[in-house]
Amino acid sequence: MSGWRHPARLVVLAFLAATAAGTALFMLPVAAEPGRSTGLLTALFTAVSGITGTGLAVVDTGAHWSTFGEVVLLVLCQIGGFGIMTMASVLALLVSHRLGLHMQLTVKTETNTLNLGHVRRVIAGVVTISLAVEAIGAAVLATRFWLGYDMTLGRALYEGVFHAVSAFNSVGLALYPDNLMRFATDPWICLPVVAVAVTGGLGFPVLFEILRGRSRRRGRWSLHTKITVPVYLGLIAVGTLVVLTVEWSKAGTLGPYGVGEKLLIGLFHGAMPGTAGFNTIDIAQLQPATMLVHDVLMFIGGGSAGTTGGIKVTTFALIAFVLLAEVRAEPSVHVMGRKISAEVQRQAVTVALLGVGVVMTATMILLATTQFRLDDVLFETTSAFGGVGMSTGITAKLPPVAQLVIIVLMFIGRVGSITLVSALALRERRRRYELPEERPIVG
Amino acid sequence: MSGWRHPARLVVLAFLAATAAGTALFMLPVAAEPGRSTGLLTALFTAVSGITGTGLAVVDTGAHWSTFGEVVLLVLCQIGGFGIMTMASVLALLVSHRLGLHMQLTVKTETNTLNLGHVRRVIAGVVTISLAVEAIGAAVLATRFWLGYDMTLGRALYEGVFHAVSAFNSVGLALYPDNLMRFATDPWICLPVVAVAVTGGLGFPVLFEILRGRSRRRGRWSLHTKITVPVYLGLIAVGTLVVLTVEWSKAGTLGPYGVGEKLLIGLFHGAMPGTAGFNTIDIAQLQPATMLVHDVLMFIGGGSAGTTGGIKVTTFALIAFVLLAEVRAEPSVHVMGRKISAEVQRQAVTVALLGVGVVMTATMILLATTQFRLDDVLFETTSAFGGVGMSTGITAKLPPVAQLVIIVLMFIGRVGSITLVSALALRERRRRYELPEERPIVG
Ligand SMILES: [K+]
Ligand SMILES: [K+]
What is chain B's pLDDT, residue by residue, as a tens digit (443 residues)?
344 346 677 778 888 999 999 999 999 999 888 888 889 999 999 999 999 989 888 988 778 888 888 888 888 988 888 888 888 887 777 766 543 333 444 434 434 455 667 778 888 888 888 899 999 999 999 999 999 998 889 889 988 988 898 899 888 888 888 889 999 999 999 999 999 999 999 988 888 888 776 544 555 678 888 899 999 999 999 999 999 999 998 888 898 999 999 999 999 999 999 888 899 999 999 999 999 999 999 999 999 888 888 999 999 999 999 998 888 877 788 888 888 888 788 888 988 999 999 999 999 999 999 989 999 999 999 999 999 989 998 998 999 999 999 999 998 988 877 777 777 766 644 444 556 666 566 66
Longest dimension (CA), chain A: 76
B128 C-alpha to ligand 2 centroid (Å): 22
Give ipTM to 2 decimals.
0.86
Ordered alpha helix ranges (H), A370-427: 374-385, 400-411, 417-426
Give the residue on B whose Cα is nearest the Cα of A378.
Answer: B374
A264 C-alpha to ligand 2 centroid (Å): 46
Q: Is residue A441 part of a domain?
A: no
Mean per-residue pLDDT of chain B: 84
Best CA proximity match to B267, nearest among B259, B175, B313: B259
Distance between CA atoms of residues A204 and B276, nearest Å: 51
- Count Cβ atoms below 10 Å from residue A22 Cβ, excluding itself: 25
Q: Let me know: does A270 contact A390? Beta carbons within 8 Å.
A: no
- Judged by CB atoms closer than 8 Å, whether chains meet at A375 and B374 is answered as yes
Task: Please give the angle made by the CA atoms of B108, B112 and B115, to the nearest 5 degrees.
Answer: 85
**Which amino acid does the sequence have at B145?**
F
Best CA proximity match to A316, nearest among A259, A287, A273: A273
Q: What is the pLDDT of residues B125-139, one digit of tens each?
A: 888 888 999 999 999
- Judged by CB atoms closer than 8 Å, whether chains meet at A246 and B424 is answered as no
**Which amino acid does the sequence have at B347?**
Q
Q: Is B10 helix (H, G, I), strand (E, B) or coil?
A: helix
Distance between CA atoms of residues A336 and A319, nearest Å: 15
Number of Cα atoms under 13 Å in the Cβ half of residue A357: 12
Q: Is A333 helix (H, G, I), strand (E, B) or coil?
A: strand
Chain B residue numbers with beta carbons less than 8 Å from the beta carbon of A356 are 356
User: Would strands B338-340 and B333-335 be described as parallel, antiparallel, or unpaired?
Assistant: antiparallel
Read off the DSSP letter of residue A415.
Answer: I
Q: Is residue B440 part of a domain?
A: no
Best CA proximity match to B16, nearest among B438, B431, B435, B412: B412
Give the residue on A whose Cα is nearest the Cα of B105.
Answer: A441
Q: Is residue B441 part of a domain?
A: no
Best CA proximity match to A302, nearest among A405, A189, A417: A417
State whether residue A330 sits within 8 Å of chain B by CB.
yes
Longest dimension (CA), chain B: 76
Sign of torsion over alpha carbons B260, B266, B269, B270: negative
State whether residue B212 sits within 8 Å of chain A by CB.
no
Chain A residue numbers with beta carbons less than 8 Å from the beta carbon of B368 are 245-246, 287, 289
A313 C-alpha to ligand 2 centroid (Å): 37
Q: Is residue A102 part of a domain?
A: yes
Sign of torsion over alpha carbons A41, A47, A51, A57: positive
Q: Is residue B431 part of a domain?
A: no
- Judged by CB atoms closer than 8 Å, whether chains meet at B337 and A435 is answered as yes
Q: Is residue A432 part of a domain?
A: no
Domain extent at residue A307: 3-426
Chain B residue numbers with beta carbons less than 8 Å from the beta carbon of A417 are 442-443
Q: Is residue B438 part of a domain?
A: no
* Number of domains observed in the structure of chain B: 1
Chain B residue numbers with beta carbons less than 8 Å from the beta carbon of A347 are 326, 442-443
Q: Is residue A437 part of a domain?
A: no
Give the residue on A whose Cα is nearest the Cα of B439.
Answer: A340
Helices A313-327 and B342-369: crossing angle, nearest 10°?
A: 110
Ordered alpha helix ranges (H), A2-66: 7-27, 40-51, 61-64
Phi first, then psi: what are they for A334, rounded to 5°? -110, 130
